[in-house]
Chains A and B, each alone.
Chain A
Amino acid sequence: MGGQTGFGPVPVGENGEPAFAADWEARVYALAAVLRRRGLFNSDELRDAIERLPPGQYLGASYYERWLGAIETLVDEKGLA
């Protein structure tokens, strides 16, 4: 999305600081890392799954909610659970 316009100011400051705004975000981050480390999917598959989220979901979901959606997609597509 380099150069795409309309996203407004960068969320600098207190609300833009935390790496993880909630515990579940850190858990999703860890889950992705562990599953990648176990070879269940690779980084490009994860990024691809994020990009394949329906546009409404992509733009409306927060960063780690998109990761969650992507992991769910890969789990279903690969029959992991």
Chain B
Amino acid sequence: MTSPEDHHEERREDHADASVAVRARRLEERLIAAGQATEAELDAYLSQLYGNAAPVNGARMAARAWTDPAYRQLLLADGNAAAAELGFTGLSYQLRVVANRADRHNVIVCTLCSCYPVSLLGPSPGWYKSFAYRSRTVREPRAVLAEFGLSLPPDTEIAVWDSTSEARYMVLPARPDGTGELAEDDLAALVTRNGLIGTALV
């Protein structure tokens, strides 16, 4: 919930936020009254969103790729097929997965509006939708990553991916050193949402 000390770049007073909430509810009621949506439908949508869409999905795919070279190959060649193998069928987008390497780091953005692979990462964080992230990541990715506390060696190539079409991008983080003995579930627990977007290493 918002607080009076909200430092978010799009500041708004509590009373203004309350009035937007009223406006949103009024629109909802108009549409429900006109038969264009139902309360149950909206509730069910949010339930399944919160229940099913979470970064653990993407994390499981990364962990599988770390332990199974054939899966890794599939993941990078055909993200949708790889997702389906782990039970994530019917993605509404073409999934493209890009692999981090020692000499290359990938980071994902959508400059036009904030497209994001919600079903595999959960709903996007506020910062991903911010004007600052959308405008600056394509222009000065190193500075943006530094704001996340990620400082990459100067000779690491940074590849920025702007999600402008029906494709959605996810990063396959590099497997951390010293994890050779871990089981797949434990590996998945290491993979963070920010690691899958490219604003963190794992």
Query: In the complex, which residues 51-81 of chain A have their Cβ closer than 8 Å to any Cβ of chain B?
Result: 59-63, 65, 68, 71-72, 75, 80-81
Interface string of A8-21 (1 = CB under 8 A from B): 11111001111111
Beyond A34-B37, A50-B113, is A22–B148 a contact (Cβ under 8 Å)?
Answer: no
The A-contacting residues of B in range 163-184, CB under 8 angstroms, are none
Residues 17-37 (chain B) with a chain A CB within 8 angstroms: 17, 20-21, 23-25, 27-28, 30-31, 33-34, 36-37
A64 → chain B, closest Cβ, in Å? 8
Q: Contact check: which of A27, A40, A63, A81 meets B129 at CB < 8 Å? A: A63
Does B21 lie within 8 Å of A19, measured CB to CB? Answer: no
Q: Which residues of B contact A75 (CB under 8 A)?
A: 27, 30-31
| Chain B interface size, under 10 / 10 to 19 / 20 to 34 / 35 or more | 35 or more
Q: How many residues of A contact B (CB 8 A)?
A: 46
CB-based A-B contact count at 8 angstroms: 147
Selected from A1, A29, A31, the residue in CB contact (under 8 A) with B37 is A31
Measured in the bound complex, the distance between the Cα atoms of B7 and A17 in whole Å is: 12
Q: Which of B114-156 contact A (CB under 8 A)?
A: 114, 122-127, 129-136, 138-139, 144, 147-148
> 1/0 contact trace for B1-27 toward A, CB 8 Å?
110001111101000010011011101
Task: Report whether A19 and B122 are in contact in the complex, using a CB–CB cutoff of 8 Å.
Answer: yes
In the bound complex, residues from chain A placing their C-beta under 8 Å from that of B36 are: 35, 38, 40, 80-81
What are the 5 A-B residue pairs with the smallest beta carbon separation, nearest first? A19-B123, A2-B111, A16-B127, A81-B34, A24-B21
- A interface residues (Cβ-Cβ under 8 A, vs B): 1-5, 7-12, 15-24, 26-31, 33-35, 38, 40, 47, 50, 59-63, 65, 68, 71-72, 75, 80-81
19 contacts between A and B (CB under 8 A): A1-B111, A1-B131, A1-B135, A3-B135, A3-B138, A7-B130, A12-B147, A16-B125, A17-B125, A19-B123, A21-B1, A21-B8, A22-B21, A27-B25, A30-B49, A34-B37, A62-B12, A81-B31, A81-B36
